[in-house]
Amino acid sequence: MSQGIETATEPIVEIDSVRVWLADATSILDGINWTIRPGEQWALLGPNGSGKTTLLTIMRAFKHPSQGSVTVLGRRFGESDLWPLREQIGLVDSGQRVLEWLAAEDVVLTGLTGSIQPIWDRYGPAEVERARELLGIVGVSAFATRVFNTCSQGEKQRIRIARALMANPSLLLLDEPTTGLDLPAREALLNAISTLAKAQPDLATVTVSHHLEELPATTSHALLLRDGKMVANGPVADVLTTANVTSCFGFPITVRQDEGRWFARATGSWVSGERVQP
């Protein structure tokens, strides 16, 4: 496989028989096989402790597996310099540090250089125009000159998405992007992600979540993790079934879909730590 940036026909991510364990032999991931292609919109779901964060860290090229092979954007881990690769992977995490006294468009501009502090001599008229275009795609163009700290949590998240896109990545990782948002802000953010999928059809995305309701309507594929192992992996309609989600979370759950959005409802309850069927 070429060691350069992928062509449109090559997978964005290829994970083959990946295992991760700690020094005390505790297994974190076991037998993960995952292929992500251009334009696919993935959901990565599972309970706490299922291995989602570890898998995301590997995909960001910040961690090598204990066993197995990983190729991201045509670069195989262990055979390639991963620093240039990291610049081609966008990340949205509500814990990411930004300088909150900057204007929204200036926060977006820092995504070009992957820096917290603006590097002003790297930003010309074309870069400013690109930042404003991205703010428009995610629905916050009116806030371009607003100080970041005065924006709502939902607006901040959409600005972070625009920032992650500034370097024109081929892969965008969204780590629980709706955490802490109220219902209107959540829906605005999910609409922004769906709009992005249509505006940049070759961009592959992975949205990490605990909740089906927090998946954008454009989600095309899903991977379910439990205890570091795959429960199901493939087209979203085949994966997000009542049986699969129940198995993933270890609790009776009924799943339904409505106009592209997914919903889950518990069909059991817990009393004194034991499951009680309704």
> How does pLDDT run across 104-139, given as a tens digit for each residue?
999 999 998 888 888 898 899 999 999 999 999 998
| Sign, Cα dihedral of 239, 244, 249, 253 | positive
Task: Please indicate, yes or no, whether the overall pTM of this predicted structure exceeds 0.85.
Answer: yes
Q: What is the mean pLDDT of the chain?
A: 88
- Cα distances from 91 to residues 28, 190, 235, 252, in angstroms, run 22, 16, 23, 33
Q: Which among 237, 236, 238 has a CA at the least distance from the CA of 207? A: 236
* Phi, psi (degrees; rounded to nearest 5) at 79: -125, -5
Q: Which pair of tokens denotes residue 266?
A: 């518990």
Residues of the chain above pLDDT 70, percent: 93
Contact 52, 171 (CB under 8 A): no
> How does pLDDT run across 4-44, given as a tens digit for each residue?
444 446 899 999 999 999 888 889 999 999 999 999 999 99
**pLDDT given at position 270:** 52
The identity of residue 267, as a single letter, is T
Q: Which among 18, 2, 19 has a CA at the least distance from the CA of 10? A: 2
Segments of the chain assigned E as strands: 13-21, 27-36, 41-45, 67-72, 75-76, 89-93, 171-175, 204-209, 221-226, 229-235, 253-258, 261-266, 269-271, 274-276
The identity of residue 214, as a single letter, is E
pLDDT < 50 regions, the chain: 1-8, 271-274, 276-278
**pLDDT given at position 148:** 93
For residues 49 and 199, what is the distance between their CA atoms, to the nearest angstrom? 34
> Which domains are delineated in the chain?
13-241 (3.40.50.300)
Pairing state of beta strands 204-209 and 41-45? parallel
For residues 245 and 223, what is the distance between their CA atoms, to the nearest angstrom? 10
**pLDDT given at position 6:** 42
